[in-house]
Structure formats: structure tokens, C-alpha cells
Amino acid sequence: MSLLVNVVRVFVDEDGDHGNPLAIVWASSATQRQEQQIAADLGFSETIFVDAVAGGSARARIYTPTRELPFAGHPTVGLAAWLHASGDDVRQIDVPAGSARVRVEGDLVFVTARSEWAPEFELVQLDGPAAVGVVDPDAFGYSAVYVWAWADEEAGRVRARMFAPDLGIREDEATGSAAVRLTAALGRDLEVFQGQGSRLYTHNRYLGQQVEVGGRVSSARTIELR
């Protein structure tokens, strides 16, 4: 099977660097019941399959290399940004967990989700950014772990990294759903510096019951999966 795949980088910095690659695939008869294999073959931390776009809504499903997720942050933000760049005025992304509202503010794209939609993460606070930077990803052989530290607590700036071997992800460059969980746990807005330099922004809503997460997204490139 030959399949054209759009790839964007989600949560890039102000210069368009870093960010987490996301594969965007239009669902079709060729992809039906092949989604998990396609996601594994592509090898990105997440691949999103677009089932339909109509009336300001997009319906989609999200896969890691090993399983389907009911919600994830960087795929929904990435898809929303990609559709807006294509001229589609999408106001919500419908995924199995529910409908994530979309908001665009300049070059930032946000989605709002309920915090419980996000996968469970073990939130491990360390003493400072330097301690986060030297963590060995292979020290974690279980679950999904979000290692973080305050870079500037007063300003709400956080340094973080994420490891999820159970999801087939040794280390994730930028993880919107983990930032959602951390924001809800801390009960405040955050600016997260994750991985090699990715940047995420969150807003705590309704006492942490909902969290808005967003950032910048690169232009798309197209690859072919054979």
C-alpha cells in the first residue's frame, strides 16, 4: 500500500524549531482496520486519522505505535492548526473522549479538554531544570512518566520530559496531555519547556476540570508510506 501522509511539528518554539512530529492521515477504505499498523510503521509518537470535516467540526482518532488513545494534546492541536492553515474554520475536534474546543490566537492554536480525558501520568517533581535534563529515559520501564521541575515558579515556567515505554514512546518531545494533567494538578496556568526545546502553553479552567493547551505548529511536509 502506498499512502501519502502529512507531517507537522507541534509545539515548536518562536523560531519554528523543535516540536513533536505528528502524522496526519485522511481515513479511507485503504486505512480502515489498518490504523494501528500504519501508526507503527510511521513510528511517530502519535498519528491522527481524520474521518470527516464538516460544519466547523473534525472527527478523528489517535494512535501511538502500540495503541489507540481516546485523547491526546499534540495530535488535536496539530490537526486544528493544519486544518486552519488549509482554510477550514474548525472550532472543535471530536475524538473518542469527547469534543475538544479549538481557539486560534495569532500564531498559537489551542484546544480545551477535560483533564480526565488525558492518559494517566506519574508526575515526578525534581529539584530543578538541570536534574530534569540528565534523567535517563531507560530508567523508566513502566507506565507513562512526566518528569518536571520549576524553572520559574512565580512565572509558572516548567521544565519537563516525558517517557512512556508502554505506549511505544521512549521519550516524547512534547506532550500536550501530560501538560494538561500537570496543569490540573497544580491548578494554574503554565508555560512548559519540554524535550530539546519545545514549548507548550496551558490555561487552567473551571478549577482544573478543563485545561486549554496549545502552542505553535510548523507548516506541513508530505511523506509517502509504502
User: Which pLDDT score is estimated for 116?
Assistant: 93
CA dihedral 70, 73, 75, 81 (to 10 degrees): 130
Residue with cell 505506549: 167
Residue 82 and residue 9 in one domain? yes
Residue 131 and residue 195 in one domain? yes
Residue 90 and residue 170 in one domain? no
Residue 111 falls inside a structural domain: no
pLDDT in tens, 10-19: 999 999 999 9
Domain CATH number, residue 47? 3.10.310.10
**Rounded-to-integer distance, Cα 70 and Cα 55, Å:** 22
User: Which pLDDT score is estimated for 14?
Assistant: 96
Q: Write the DSSP assignment of the chain as a string of letters.
A: --EEEEEEEEEE-TTS---EEEEEEE--TTTTT-HHHHHHHH--S-EEEEEEEETTEEEEEEE-SS-EES--HHHHHHHHHHHHHTT----EEEETTEEEEEEEETTEEEEEEEGGGSPP-EEEE-SSHHHHHT--GGG--SS-EEEEEEEETTTTEEEEEEEEGGGTEEEES--HHHHHHHHHHHTS-EEEEETTTEEEEEEEEGGGTEEEEEEEEPPPEEEEE-
Residue 156 and residue 187 in one domain? yes
User: Which pLDDT score is estimated for 206?
Assistant: 80
**Rounded-to-integer distance, Cα 84 and Cα 223, Å:** 20
Residue 133 and residue 200 in one domain? yes
Residue 109 falls inside a structural domain: no
- Residues of the domain holding 93: 3-102+217-225
Residue 108 falls inside a structural domain: no
Q: Look at residues 5, 4, 8, 27 and name the one whose alpha carbon lies nearest to residue 198.
A: 8
Q: What's the number of domains the chain is made of?
A: 2
Residue 112 falls inside a structural domain: no
User: Which pLDDT score is estimated for 177?
Assistant: 96
Residue 123 and residue 204 in one domain? yes
Residue 127 and residue 209 in one domain? yes
Residue 43 falls inside a structural domain: yes
pLDDT in tens, 147-201: 999 999 999 999 999 998 887 889 999 999 999 999 999 999 999 999 999 999 9
Residue 157 and residue 201 in one domain? yes
Residue 126 and residue 138 in one domain? yes
Residue 94 and residue 165 in one domain? no
Low-confidence stretches of the chain (pLDDT beneath 50): none
> Residue 24: beta bridge partners?
6, 48
Residue 107 falls inside a structural domain: no
Residue 93 and residue 130 in one domain? no
Residue 124 and residue 209 in one domain? yes
